[in-house]
Amino acid sequence: MSVNRAQRVDLDVVTDLIPANSRVLDVGSGDGVLLELLQETKQVDGRGMELSQRGVNECVARGLSVIQGDADKDLGFYPDKGFDFVVLSQTLQATRNPKVVLDELLRIGNRAIVSFPNFGHWRVRFSLLIKGRMPVTKDLPYSWYDTPNIHFCTIRDFVNLCEELGATVEKATALDANGQKIGLSMPWWFWNFFGQQAVFLLRR
Amino acid sequence: MAAQRAARTNDEADHPSSPVLQFGPDKPLKLDAGTLLSPFQIAYQTYGTLNDARSNAILVCHALTGDQHVANTNPVTGKPGWWEVLIGPGKIIDTNRFFVICANVIGGCLGSTGPASTNPATGKPYGLDLPIITIRDMVRAQAMLVDHFGIEKLFCVLGGSMGGMQVLEWAASYPERVFSALPIATGARHSSQNIAFHEVGRQAVMADPDWHGGKYLELGKRPEKGLAVARMAAHITYLSEAALHRKFGRNLQDREALTFGFDADFQIESYLRHQGMTFVDRFDANSYLYLTRAMDYFDLAADHGGRLADAFAGTKTRFCLVSFTSDWLFPTEESRSIVHALNAAGASVSFVEIETDRGHDAFLLDEPELFAAINGFIASAARARGLGL
Q: Render pLDDT for B196-241 as a digit per residue (tens, 0 to 9).
A: 999 999 999 999 999 999 999 999 999 999 999 999 999 999 999 9
Q: What is the pLDDT of residue B223?
A: 97
Return d(Cα B1, Cα B19) in angstroms, integer.
28
Pick out chain A residues at pLDDT < 70.
Answer: 1-7
Q: What is the pLDDT of residue A54?
A: 86
Residue of B322, B352, B356 to mutate, testing the A interface (most A Cβ within 10 Å of its Cβ) = B352
Name the phi and psi angles at B138, rounded to 5.
-60, -45
Residue B16: cis peptide before it, omega within 30 degrees of 0: no
Name the phi and psi angles at A200, rounded to 5.
-115, 140
Q: What is the pLDDT of residue A179?
A: 83
Domains of chain A and any CATH numbers: 2-118+150-203 (3.40.50.150)
Q: What is the pLDDT of residue B389?
A: 55
pLDDT of B113-163, one tens digit each? 999 999 999 999 999 999 999 999 999 999 999 999 999 999 999 999 999
Q: What is the pLDDT of residue A2?
A: 36
CA torsion through residues B167, B168, B174, B178, sign: positive
Q: What is the pLDDT of residue B157?
A: 98
Could you give the dihedral angle defined by the CA atoms of residues B259, B261, B262 and B268, in that order, rounded to the nearest 10 degrees?
20
Q: Nearest C-alpha of chain B: how many angstroms from A48? A: 8
Label residue B330 by pLDDT band (50, 70, 90): very high
B 343-382 residues with CB < 8 A to A: 343-346, 348-355, 369, 372-373, 375-377, 379-380
Q: Nearest C-alpha of chain B: how many angstroms from A69? A: 9
Return d(Cα B341, Cα B311) in angstroms, integer.
9
Instruction: Give me chain B's average pLDDT, please.
Output: 96
Question: Which of the residues B161, B180, B240, B287 is marked catalytic?
Answer: B161
Domains of chain B and any CATH numbers: 2-190+300-385 (3.40.50.1820), 194-293 (1.10.1740.110)
Burial A23-41 (b: 16+ CB within 10 A, else e): bbbbbbbbbbbbbbbbbee
The answer, for B151 touching chain A at a CB cutoff of 8 Å, is no
The 3-state DSSP class for residue A112 equals strand
Q: Identify which of A126, A131, A108 has the alpha carbon closest to the alpha carbon of residue A194.
A: A126
The answer, for B316 touching chain A at a CB cutoff of 8 Å, is no
Q: What is the pLDDT of residue B38?
A: 97
Q: What is the pLDDT of residue B371?
A: 95
Measured between alpha carbons, how far apart are the two ends of chain A, in Å?
34
Q: What is the pLDDT of residue A161?
A: 96
Q: Are B242 and B254 in contact (CB under 8 A)?
A: no
Q: What is the pLDDT of residue A1?
A: 35
- For residue B101, give every residue at least 6 positions away whose Cβ sits within 8 Å of its Cβ, in sequence order, or none: B44, B45, B46, B57, B58, B59, B60, B145, B146, B149
Check if B208 is active-site. no
- The verdict on a CB contact (< 8 Å) between B376 and A79 is no
Distances (CA, A) of B99 to B59, B87, B93, B156, B274: 8, 11, 10, 10, 36
Q: Are B172 and B300 in contact (CB under 8 A)?
A: yes
Q: Are B372 and A90 in contact (CB under 8 A)?
A: no
The 3-state DSSP class for residue A11 equals helix
Q: What is the pLDDT of residue B102?
A: 98
Q: What percent of chain B has pLDDT over 70?
A: 100
